[in-house]
Structure 1
């Protein structure tokens, strides 16, 4: 396993990679890094694949453009197309977790010639809704249910990343704890924030690192986000409405490549995205595996690496 910099057309990307064979891209989410896929990189490499986990745009050792609009879904998909080419491949299988899952789904939607199969962890495919920008709908849903505000709407504030930067170690610890499968239900986040509170103020002050995260692994995250900040990662959220405007051409489009989806039974994301799990077969026409991992939370590939590896390898063997 090695870490290196790859220069693509538009970006210097840091990647973690191992193995030779068919290319498998592993796309991380928020607030993570390519190192979140270490167990999968190793397992896939041992099984005969070229496994590559990049630090995504705005994260870790990869470039961090300054403009908010440089973090649109078109940029994120384009980065992966460029990376495939820079790695000397013409096609690949793409796997995404958390925010990486929508990127992976859109890679498959936009460039089926490049991305020949797709797997999503934690966040199901969500078809573009025709009735206006998403953040307004998110706010309306939360108000009707009396649930406060969804954190993704709060993240639209151009300065909201500073709450994480004020205490990087503490903010990361609270985030991982609040979405972990080992955290008691009454201490997990629901994703909905009470008036006057924010994502971190609602998390328990005595939050601990999840069982799967060592102090040394936590320190890797702290070092990366201390150096790079949270503005770029949060700019992904600030493009949610822009992404809706940019993807009208995808309205009603299905993913026809082989696909799989896996989610933790206790993943808080299911409070606000779980409604899309039931209809996945309508949008993923070759859905080969849809799994709910009992007792698991949000950080699937790190919480339950053996089960995730087994599912991914079974999916890859089916192609």
Structure 2
């Protein structure tokens, strides 16, 4: 495994990379770091692929945009540039924000993605309506409203040894000791500008008047023509598994979709149950091989 960089304009995204073969991009979420994909990177590389996990926009000082654009539209643009740099067609795996970016990217440019694995996030297309039918999600998502406030969220996350970050990990993946994974996340989030950037992703969601927001919202109405699997931990304390009853509609996925529910896992399921998750990830990669080679 080696440290590399992906580039979009003047933004430089640190990344971990290993293996040879069809490229597989892994996108992390909040409050996490690309470094925590290491176990998946090694497993995917051993299976015969090139695995590369970049930092999301803002999660390193070198990829914090001067214009402050942390919209999902901009994040999809980053991903499309990465895919082009890796040969034009790639497999995609995303957790949390990475999964949200993946749903939009696959809807917008399905020809770019050989397969898509979404971890911990249900399909976005019908999510707004599902919130009405799964009221506990409004409570679980209360942190998103809190993140709209100025100053206070930054202070809460940074207090002590980033105890706010630790609190979210404990709440979202209960009854699990994250050990070094949490330490890795804290190390990334402690870098200059990263916490404000991470919060800016959430604040951008509510800027509905922005043209970038309108463009990304238009992609939500499209079917996804990429073979897709969704992996959810049954004990997820961030996104209620019950949302899938109202968001997973097979006809929205014209190339097929599968659901895998992991017993005893929470929001960070790929870290809690790496062998089981890796088995599902590699199975989909093997079943969707295409001309994506570097």
Question: With structure 2 as the length reference, what TM-score do the two structures score?
Answer: 0.85
Q: Does residue 230 of structure 1 match 2:195? A: yes
What is the CA-CA distance between 1:7 and the residue it aligns to? 2.7
Q: 1:237 to 1:213 in 2, by over 3 A?
A: same
Q: 1:67 to 1:166 in 2, by over 3 A?
A: farther
Q: Deviations over 1:61-86 (max 9, x none)?
A: 64112544x01111001101111223
What is the CA-CA distance between 1:280 and the residue it aligns to? 3.5
Q: Deviations over 1:212-234 (max 9, x none)?
A: 423xx443332322223311011
What is the CA-CA distance between 1:20 and the residue it aligns to? 0.8
Distance 1:24 1:298 in 2: 22
Residue of structure 2 equivalent to 1:185:
none
Q: Which blocks of at least 5 consecutive residues in structure 1 are unaligned?
A: 183-209
Q: Which blocks of at least 5 consecutive residues in structure 2 are unaligned?
A: 289-294
Greater share of residues in helix = 2
Q: 1:174 to 1:45 in 2, by over 3 A?
A: same
Q: 1:64 to 1:244 in 2, by over 3 A?
A: closer
Distance 2:51 2:140 in 1: 41
Q: Deviations over 1:228-286 (max 9, x none)?
A: 33110111111213365333432531101111001000002333x74245433232233
Q: 1:128 to 1:236 in 2, by over 3 A?
A: farther
What does 1:213-224 align with in structure 2 at a 5 Å threshold? 213-214=179-180, 217-224=181-188
What is the root-mean-square deviation in Å for CA atoms of aligned residues?
A: 2.7
The answer to whether the 8 A contact 1:13-1:61 is kept is no
What is the CA-CA distance between 1:308 and the residue it aligns to? 0.5
Q: Does residue 176 of structure 1 match 2:146? A: no
What is the CA-CA distance between 1:161 and the residue it aligns to? 2.4
**Which moves more between the two structures, 24-33 or 116-125?**
116-125
Q: 1:247 to 1:222 in 2, by over 3 A?
A: closer
Distance 1:53 1:145 in 2: 29
What is the CA-CA distance between 1:138 and the residue it aligns to? 7.0
- Segments of 4+ moved more than 6 angstroms: none
Equivalent residue of 1:25, what SS?
strand
Aligned residues: 280
Distance 1:315 1:86 in 2: 23
Residue of structure 2 equivalent to 1:109:
107
Among candidates 308, 311, 317, match of residue 277 of structure 2: 308
Residue of structure 1 equivalent to 2:236:
267
Q: Does residue 155 of structure 1 match 2:147? A: yes
What does 1:122-271 align with in structure 2 at a 5 Å threshold? 122-127=120-125, 147=139, 150-159=142-151, 160-182=153-175, 210-214=176-180, 217-228=181-192, 229-241=194-206, 242=208, 244-271=213-240
Equivalent residue of 1:310, what SS?
helix
The answer to whether the 8 A contact 2:122-2:243 is kept is no
Q: 1:170 to 1:111 in 2, by over 3 A?
A: same
Residue of structure 1 equivalent to 2:249:
280
The answer to whether the 8 A contact 1:27-1:56 is kept is yes
Q: Whose relative contact order is higher, 1 or 2, with alpha carbons under 8 Å and at least 6 apart?
A: 2
Distance 1:145 1:259 in 2: 24
